[in-house]
Structure 1
Amino acid sequence: MTEETAAPMAGAMGVRDAVTVRMPADSAYLSVLRTATAGLAARLDFTLDEIEDLRIGVDEACAMLLSQALPGTDLTTEFELNGDGMRVAVSVLTADGRLPARDTFAWTVLSALAGDVNAHAGPDDRVTIVLHKHRDGVESA
């Protein structure tokens, strides 16, 4: 089951939108997430190449996290849309809170596709990968 919520948020750069997609931590549902990613990126007038990069980047982040997801848990993806691009935070509950290795080919690909990439673990062993993709020609503040 997929749950989506959307809420306008006031940010430093003006109004932005926030969308959360929660679904089972199972690769069978990733096509839904890829479609949501593309739709939201199109709303921000990303180019077709940028949209495809973001779709692949979100898919790669999910693949990294699904390998360590606790069975029966949810994969949560939070999208923040603002004037300069999109921030995507993908998270899942894990057994040990282990962060993805940054010296792997997968992390290099993710960084090349998504722009700014980071990962962190919460106190409940929820591991999150955060991507921030800027539109071409728009500099980050």
Structure 2
Amino acid sequence: MTEETAAPSPGATDVRDAVTVRMPADSAYLSVLRTATAGLAARLDFTLDEIEDLRIGVDEACAMLLTQALPGTDLTTDFELTGDGMRISVSVLTADGRLPARDTFAWTVLSALAGEVDADAGPDDRVSIVLHKRRGVAETA
């Protein structure tokens, strides 16, 4: 995995905070991640509905990735809090670097909940799903 300096998206204010949560790639730990997501979103004054959408979106992204995670590896989640939103990158090491299918119901739900969604694979077969939710912006699926 290559390290990159966090840069704000065009039109966004500078990155205020960056938080990384690393835990075993096991669904038993997802409640911790949902709580962290909600706490960070509340810090940015997201509405209760937006916070719940993000919690469910992160949970859905993790569910998609955990099916591919190599046993005994970690699930890593990077949060970037900006003035107008939050960028969340969830990643795991996989055996083949296969990206999640974008033509599934799960991807459609994820896109509706999180706003901008993308996926990529690194050279070490680390697969990431990246969510970018802006505060107060009505999303279209």
Q: Offset at 1:15?
A: 4.7
The percent identity for this pair of structures is: 87
Query: Which residue matches 2:133?
Result: 133
Q: TM-score, normalised on structure 2?
A: 0.88
Instruction: Compute the RMSD of aligned alpha carbons.
Output: 1.6
CA contact (8 A) 2:37 2:55 kept: yes
* Counterpart contact for 2:15–2:80, Cα < 8 Å: no
Gaps of 5+ in 2: 1-5
Q: If the length of structure 1 is used for normalisation, what is the TM-score?
A: 0.88
Count of equivalent residues: 130
Per-residue CA distance 1:83-109 (angstroms, 9 max, x = gap): 110000000000000000000000000
Match of 1:109 in 2: 109
SS at match of 2:102: coil
Q: Which runs of 4+ in 1 moved over 6 A?
A: none
Secondary structure of the structure 1 residue equivalent to 2:124: coil
Greater strand fraction, Structure 1 or Structure 2: 1
| Structure 1 pair 10–108 and aligned structure 2 pair: CA distance change class (3 A) | closer
Provide the secondary structure at the position in 1 that maps to 2:63.
helix
Q: Which runs of 5+ in 1 are unaligned?
A: 1-8
Once the two structures are superposed, the pairs formed by residues 76-115 of structure 1 within 5 Å of their partners are 76-115=76-115
Classify 1:132/1:10 alpha carbon distance in 2 versus 1 (closer, same or farther; 3 Å): closer
Tell me which of the two structures has the higher relative contact order, counting C-alpha pairs closer than 8 angstroms and 6 or more residues apart: 2
The alignment status of 1:122 with 2:122, answered yes or no, reads yes
